[in-house]
Amino acid sequence: MITSYLAITFTFFFMRLIPGNPIQSYVQALLAQGQYTMAEQAKQIVDTYLEMFGLKGDLLTQYVSFMKRLLLHFDFGPSLIAFPRRAQELILERLPWTLGLLGTSVVISWLLGTILGALAGWKAGSKLDRALVAFALAFSQIPFYVLAVFLVLLFGYILGWLPTGGAYNPLLKPGLSLEFIASVVKHAILPSLSLVLSTAFSWLLSMRSLVVTILGEDYIAFAEAKGLRKITIFQKYVVRNALLPQLTNLGISLGFIVSGSVVVETLFRYPGVGMLFSAALTGLDYNLVMAFIVLTTLAVLTASFILDLIYPFVDPRVSYGE
């Protein structure tokens, strides 16, 4: 609760200290379009919008009004860039796209990296280990956006196999039809592949390091002395002990899915929360930015809570008392 409160408070004051007046800019745009012609009429509409968007009065007054609306009604107010829709409506509308793309990509990259890392660590020094580590060291140093641009150029423009942006074919009507689902999957391949390739090798290196460290522990030597099969030692003694740190990092990664979606969705023009947040920052949409920050904070805290519940099932030594 304290973490959430501090994050909301910091973001609230930080956004309002950024130079620029979003309402003034909004009204000037309306004047340029000819919607308001008289200066007096423009002044009245500015006062109305300031009240509506919670920007009237000093900072303390605005803060108290915002917190009251948030705590009592969980309402962030209207969005400036999509007026008159509420900020939380826009977030909830875009959230499934972000969770579907990034959530799936993070889980796939974690599984792939963890499995390959466990095998590389178990066979440390072998040809398989050296090959995997060489590839991992090379790919883990390539920035995500460089890899994404390369994949777009290769599969999108040169070979023409995959679409380079968007979430589905705009000519199709959204629904549960096989044609629409196939279009969604096809459009998600490039951003998902770039994410998996840029993160799976980092998971591989971390898992391999954990396994190699565990192989030097006394209980592994004791298990071997007891005559246990190698596959049993690998599964129950090595992998199980190495999974706890990996699970912790997975939980953190899942928690930061929302905030990490900005670069991915901007590059691929994917209609998720990240692209919405980028537009909100550009338009100084305070209410939408606040909704995004609160969502990110809640996601991180929820992921940490779920991890605490999962730990005892992964390692029986972990318990929270009776």
pLDDT tens digit string along 150-191? Answer: 888 989 888 888 888 888 888 888 888 888 889 899 998 988
Rounded to an integer, what distance in angstroms lies between the CA atom of residue 6 and that of residue 11? Answer: 8
Distance between CA 157 and CA 74 in Å, rounded? 45
The phi, psi pair for 148, rounded to 5°, reads -65, -45
CATH node for 94-314: 1.10.3720.10
Q: Which residue has the higher pLDDT, 254 or 278?
A: 278
Query: pLDDT category, 315, cuts 50, 70, 90?
Result: low
48 token code pair: 């109305």
321: left (phi over 0), alpha (psi -120 to 50) or beta: left
In single-letter form, the type of residue at position 233 comes to I
**Is 78 strand, coil or helix?**
strand
State percent of the chain over pLDDT 70: 87
Res 258: pLDDT: 66
Place of tokens 């579907």: 100
**Cβ contact 126:216 at 8 Å:** no
Between helices 127-139 and 104-122, what is the axis angle to 10°?
140
Render pLDDT for 23-65 as a digit per residue (tens, 0 to 9).
666 666 665 555 555 555 656 777 777 777 777 777 888 888 8
Provide the token pair at 83.
Answer: 């007026």
The separation between CA 258 and the C-alpha centre of its own chain, rounded to angstroms, equals 3
The arithmetic mean of pLDDT across residues 227-234, rounded, is: 85
Q: Which two tokens stand for residue 130?
A: 């050296």
Task: Work out the percent of the chain whose per-residue pLDDT is above 90.
Answer: 3
| Beta-bridge partners for 86 | 78
Q: Residue for token digits 């826009």?
A: 90
Where, residue-wise, is CATH 1.10.3720.10 in the chain?
94-314
Give yes or no for residue 147 having a pLDDT over 80. Answer: yes
Q: Greater confidence, 275 or 37?
A: 275
Binning the chain into helix, strand and coil, the percentages to the nearest 5 are 75, 0, 25
- pTM of the predicted structure, to 2 decimals: 0.79
pLDDT for position 92: 87
Question: What is the torsional sign of CA 178, 184, 190, 193?
Answer: negative
- Alpha-carbon distance of 218 to 202, in angstroms, equals 28
Mean pLDDT, all residues of the chain:
81
Contact 207, 121 (CB under 8 A): yes
